[in-house]
């Protein structure tokens, strides 16, 4: 992974393992280096105003947005950040997409606020601290430890 600081933003790039970085690095702008290194840009996480949860768009969506009170259906995969253990995925065999009413407290705070504004087809990553997840008690039945930070990858499938 390479980090480039370009004026006010920090850009993060991943490097294909088969690429050689020697002799390619220099004083070129980050985008030029990225092309030389056969890399892809990863958007940095951004805070959700008023919350500690952070979000990152993986794939842009279009059209309708998730708003407070609407019914949203998403694919979701949750991983405990500290252990790297997946605790839930709607894409696993026998699972199905998850439907909930957005912005009204039916799900953990970080998810509830972190999904607002997602557009149809959008894929988003959320980094949810314990305070806005399952708190100091965790959720032992799912393997979420006390104080566990959650990393969710979500895909917006339907908005009603």
Rounded mean pLDDT, 58-76: 97
Percent of the chain topping pLDDT 90: 72
User: Taking the model in full, what pTM does it have?
Assistant: 0.75
Residue 160 CB partners (closer than 8 Å, separation 6+): 70, 71, 72
Sign of CA dihedral 154, 124, 11, 51: negative
Model pLDDT, residue 38: 56
Q: Output the CA torsion sign for 66, 69, 71, 75.
A: positive
Question: Whose CA is closest to 101, among 139, 69, 59?
Answer: 69
Question: Which has the closest alpha carbon to 117: 76, 78, 154, 66?
Answer: 66
Q: What is the pLDDT of residues 79-103, one digit of tens each?
A: 999 999 999 999 999 999 999 999 9
Q: Write out the two tokens for 8.
A: 């006010």
């Amino acid at each position: 992974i390479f980090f480039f600081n370009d004026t006010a933003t920090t850009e993060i790039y991943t490097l294909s393992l088969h690429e050689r970085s020697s002799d390619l690095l220099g004083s070129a702008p980050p985008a030029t280096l990225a092309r030389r290194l056969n890399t892809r840009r990863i958007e940095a996480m951004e805070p959700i105003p008023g919350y500690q949860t952070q979000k990152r768009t993986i794939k842009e969506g279009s059209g309708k947005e998730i708003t407070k009170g609407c019914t949203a259906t998403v694919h979701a995969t949750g991983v405990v950040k500290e252990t790297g253990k997946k605790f839930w995925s709607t894409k696993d065999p026998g699972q199905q997409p998850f439907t909930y009413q957005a912005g009204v407290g039916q799900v953990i705070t970080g998810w509830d606020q972190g999904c607002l504004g997602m557009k149809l087809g959008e894929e988003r990553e959320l980094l949810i601290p314990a305070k806005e997840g399952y708190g100091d008690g965790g959720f032992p039945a799912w393997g979420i430890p006390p104080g566990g930070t959650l990393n969710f990858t979500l895909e917006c499938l339907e908005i009603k």
